[in-house]
A and B are shown apart, each in its own frame.
Chain A
Amino acid sequence: MDWMQIASALALGMFVIFLFPRAKDAMQNSPKGSTSDWMGFIIPIVGIILFIMLLIELV
């Protein structure tokens, strides 16, 4: 374990501590999405997954 790994872990840990209140606030105050709202998110994400699989085939 070198100092760069320790520094990376510390930086990520600080980032988690900084983001935690924002995440909690966003979780409590975000509006609830309907099934069609979630489908509108899931469909393009599935497209992204297929696209990444294509990139892996190309490399």
Chain B
Amino acid sequence: MKMNQNFSTVAQRSPSELATNKVLRNTYMLLSMTLLFSGVTAMISMALSMPPMTYLISVIGAMVIAMFVLPKFANSPAGIGIVFLVTGMLGFGLGPILTMYASLPNGGNIITLSLGGTGVIFLSLSAYALTTRKNFNFLGGFLMVGFLLVLMAAIANIFMAIPAMSLMISAVVIMIMSGFILYDTSRIIHGGETNYVLATIGLYLTIFNIFISLLQILGIMGGDD
């Protein structure tokens, strides 16, 4: 009887729900592969002792490709290659940053905590969005405007160089990126995002930003930055 009920539950799943599960599965699979790949490129960059400017050049290059090239190839197999290119470049850019933090007295601890913290934040927020199945579509405008404001504050702080403001910006970036994890995951669950290539790059960028911001916060609060 119990088994019959289970079969009937499976049979009752709508095609759209199965399609959503497929997008979700493909997104997490591609995301895990790109995270591993960017870890490898970061290690290569560290081994090559790349100069600090590598970070800036890699981030600008990766963002240009992600914004202008990727959307044109998102529905073709080439899109997967472009995702690996973007995430590989971002990972390569991380090399000099990680080298700088690793040279601090408690640098290893800062890097490990940032990595672990990023993993915990991403997994817990994803689990929250997946289990509650809440629709976070209403966050779209709030997150975009918040992100624009924080970018403008970051531009101002490049010239002012106030450490407290830098700390505040990193904290706000983590809050906004946490919101984007809920928003993006909710969009996949509710069929708002059906392309796993675009879903992957969105989630990857949130993870990347959370990791960089956590490094900065823990670096400053660790008293060795």
Binding site for B on A (CB under 8 A): 1, 4-5, 7-9, 11-13, 15-16, 18-20, 22-23, 26-33, 37, 40-41, 44-45, 47-49, 51-52, 55-56, 58-59
Choice from A4, A20, A32, A37 contacting B56 with Cβ under 8 Å: A4
B136-164, CB < 8 A from A:
136-145, 147-148, 151-152, 154-155, 158-159
Contact B106 A12, beta carbon cutoff 8 Å: no
Q: When the two chains form their complex, are residues A40 and B152 in contact, meaning their CB atoms are under 8 A apart?
A: no
B60: nearest chain-A partner, CB-CB: A11
Interface of B is mostly: helix
Known: A4-B52, A32-B138, A59-B222. A19 touches B151 (CB 8 A): yes
**Other than the known A11-B60, A26-B140, A59-B106, what 10 A-B pairs have Cβ atoms closer than 8 Å?**
A8-B158, A23-B144, A23-B147, A30-B139, A45-B175, A55-B217, A55-B218, A56-B221, A59-B109, A59-B110
Q: Are A55 and B113 in contact (CB under 8 A)?
A: yes
Residue of A nearest to B68 (CB): A18
Cα distance A28–B26 when bound, in Å?
31
Known A11-B56, A44-B178: A23·B141 in contact at CB below 8 Å: yes
Asked if B132 CB lies within 8 Å of chain A CBs, one says: yes
Q: How many residues of B contact A (CB 8 A)?
A: 49
CB–CB B214/A52 < 8 A: yes
Measured between beta carbons, the chain B residues less than 8 angstroms from A23 are 141, 144-145, 147-148
Binary CB contact string for chain B from 47 to 75 against chain A (1 if under 8 A, 0 otherwise): 00000110010011001000100000000
Looking at the assembled complex, report how far the CB atom of A17 sits from the nearest CB atom of chain B, in whole angstroms. Answer: 10
Q: A30-B141, A48-B174, A56-B218 are in contact. Are A40 and B179 (CB under 8 A)?
A: no
Q: How far is the CA of A47 from the CA of B120 in the complex (A)?
A: 11
Contact status A40-B132, CB under 8 Å: yes
B35 within 8 A of A: no
With the chains together, A19 CA to B132 CA distance in Å? 30
Most interface-central of B155, B159, B174 (chain A CB within 10 A): B155
Query: B159 contacts which of A9, A22, A32, A33 (Cβ < 8 Å)?
Result: A9
Is residue B43 within 8 Å, beta carbon to beta carbon, of the partner chain? Answer: no
CA A20 to CA B217, docked complex, whole Å: 27
